[in-house]
Amino acid sequence: MNVIEIKNLHKTYNTSQVAVKAVNGIDLSISKGEFTAVVGPSGSGKTTFLNMVGGLDRPTSGEVFVDGVNIWELSSRKLIDFRLRNIGFVFQSYNLIPVFTAKENVEFIMQMQGWDAKKRFERTKKLMDEVGLGDRLSSRPGKLSGGQQQRVAVARALASKPKFILADEPTANLDSHSTENLLDIMERLNMEEEITFIFSTHDPRVMKKARRIVTIEDGKILSDERKEAEVAH
């Protein structure tokens, strides 16, 4: 079952009277539970692509279907609501709210969705335990390391049980130990909760973990490779 269906996606930026084709005719299907890395050099279009798939950046042309819904035909208000209920985001810069505690950051989306306080706390505590930060619920981002902040960001993205998570260069600011730890957490949650993950990255450590690698260059797909699953005997 395809969670995401992308058809002839284009994004052109007009700068200094020059048209730059950041994304140039991408077709792609992503199935439920995939752990996919979109890779390519800086300027290849992978972040622009991810932002259009996530409803953050409007395409010049083309279609993005999520569970059969063409998200770019929705009104602005309905698109915001759709993102809120279906898509989790993990950004390179963490994007945590500095005046909130870790607990409050993780709970934020659930609160916007109307979860009651008891269920919010139970879900937050479970996820913070899973990312190894169950004892840091009351810590504000400024008191956490980069790796810890990114783990809070992952817990926040997972909190409202989205259908899929978009992670834009999530390991770019992390050391090797934090990267391995974070990828293990995301892989485990992908398996256990069947949440679809799509990364944009040029980190070989992410590529090693990914089960599918889509390579983009000059706004086009160069290759789309799936790794063979290990066969149990």
Confidence at residue 144, expressed as pLDDT on a 0 to 100 scale: 93
Q: What percent of the chain has pLDDT over 90?
A: 55
Average predicted confidence (pLDDT) for the chain: 89
Confidence at residue 1, expressed as pLDDT on a 0 to 100 scale: 63
What domains, with CATH codes, occur in the chain?
2-226 (3.40.50.300)
Confidence at residue 38, expressed as pLDDT on a 0 to 100 scale: 95
pTM of this structure = 0.86
Q: What is the pLDDT averaged over residues 41-51?
A: 88
User: Quick check: 15 pLDDT over 80?
Assistant: no
Cross-strand partners of 38: 200, 214
User: Quick check: 227 pLDDT over 80?
Assistant: yes
Q: What is the pLDDT averaged over residues 54-59?
A: 93
Cross-strand partners of 71: none
Number of neighbours of residue 146 by Cβ within 10 angstroms:
14
Angstrom distance (rounded) from CA 77 to CA 107: 22
The pair phi, psi for residue 23, each rounded to 5°, is -130, 130
**Reduced DSSP (H G I as helix, E B as strand, rest coil) percent helix, strand, coil of the chain, to 5:** 40, 30, 30
Q: Which amino acid is at 169?
A: E
Compute CA distances 232 → 44, 226, 229, whole Å: 37, 18, 9
Q: What is the pLDDT averaged over residues 103-132?
A: 91
Confidence at residue 132, expressed as pLDDT on a 0 to 100 scale: 86
Confidence at residue 233, expressed as pLDDT on a 0 to 100 scale: 35
Cross-strand partners of 215: 39, 223
Q: What is the pLDDT averaged over residues 19-24?
A: 88
Burial label, 122 (beta-carbon count in 10 A; 0-12, 13-18, 19+): exposed
Confidence at residue 231, expressed as pLDDT on a 0 to 100 scale: 38
| Residue scoring higher pLDDT (85 or 70) | 70
Task: Assign 189 a pLDDT band (cuts: 50, 70, 90).
Answer: confident
3-state secondary structure of 138: coil
Q: What is the pLDDT averaged over residues 59-64?
A: 95
Q: What is the pLDDT averaged over residues 100-110?
A: 94
User: Quick check: 94 pLDDT over 90?
Assistant: no
